[in-house]
Chains A and B, each alone.
Chain A
Amino acid sequence: MIQNLVDGILTGSIYSLAAIGMTMVMHMLRFANFSYAELLGIGGYAALVFDRLFAALVPALGVAIEPLTLTWALVLAMLVAMVITGASAVLFDWLVFKRIRAKADALSMVFASFGVALIVRNVITLIFGHKAELYSQDIAFAVVLSRDPMLLVKPDQIFTLVAALVLMLAFHLVLTRTTFGYALRAVAENPNLSQVSGVRLSSMVTAVWMIGGGLSAAAGVFYAMTNHLSPVMGHNFVLPVFAATIVGGIGSVYGAVLGGFIVGIASGLALMVLPSGYTPAMPFVIILAVLLVRPHGLFGEDRDA
């Protein structure tokens, strides 16, 4: 029970991180972006390239920081990957979504996002191949925190949880304490009114993509650290991240964080009541349950009101 709960929180932190960017993009650009989760893959693979590069250039960086499997090379690579992923998110917007936004409706955007997702996934496959990649061949063994009840946690998982929370906190401070944060929230609230107030919409859109891409890249690296990299990893995240976003309420950053944890914990606990073959349905059940009670999600607002 405790183990399932802790596992759920650890998995949930990755969902939360990915859902933050997703909820902002969905809210600001008003479309369901199915290519968003592919940013996790881009981030994960970009970090892989730079991790190898840094470790080769400066061998001292390639030594694991005990007791983690994490190396300084990977930390640096992750920062680079966050920038690269943010930039590629901006690039996709400029190449595809911006053009479609200008002349077509939201439904066309949804279909375009499917196309972008397919292209990204297959380009990753083309470059890196189908096989699983790992940052470190070592398996980080879990530490026994308690024997009764049994509680096992990997040091890497604790690190990813702390790092995810730090990133979320940093983003929270940016949103609440800076002029940029106010502008961002203003655009999310009402794009037209914020433009009247002197916020440049186009640069805010770019900023949202950069932030979303960066956070997704971090989520991708954290996921790959505790699991492994594969071209379909982004695809596997689509549903849980969507579930987290919808549960939290589209547009609510805090809702997305909470939604991520809810989906993670519920998937972890589901095994205690459901046969293992049915647990993948859990995110859908949560979406349905939340939407039945609160049609706009836990923190969502009624747009039309």
Chain B
Amino acid sequence: MIQILLRFLVGGVVVSAFALIGDLLKPKSFAGLFGAAPSVALATLGLTVATKGASYGATEARSMMAGAIAFFLYASFVSWVMMRYRFQALSVTLGAMPLWFAVAFGLWSLGLRP
């Protein structure tokens, strides 16, 4: 329970810190880089390596590559839709979530499944 709480606090702080940096920067395209900062990974991998060992962390990082490719396609799709159609940001970003899951788990099942 303590570890879950610790993960929650560390994750919250790291993710908020990167979001804050993104808020402060201009232009918008540069600030957007921080939307894809490895904030969750930094918060998680440090704790994981410390508690479960380095090879466990390495396996997570290998899968993270599939997640990053999925993120690229997801963000590109969101940008394309928002530039061309009259949808609100919340509906597009949430509506496109299945794309992230499909690509990430698709890549995982193709090459990363043990």
Partners in one complex: no
Interface residues of A (CB under 8 A from B): none
Interface residues of B (CB under 8 A from A): none
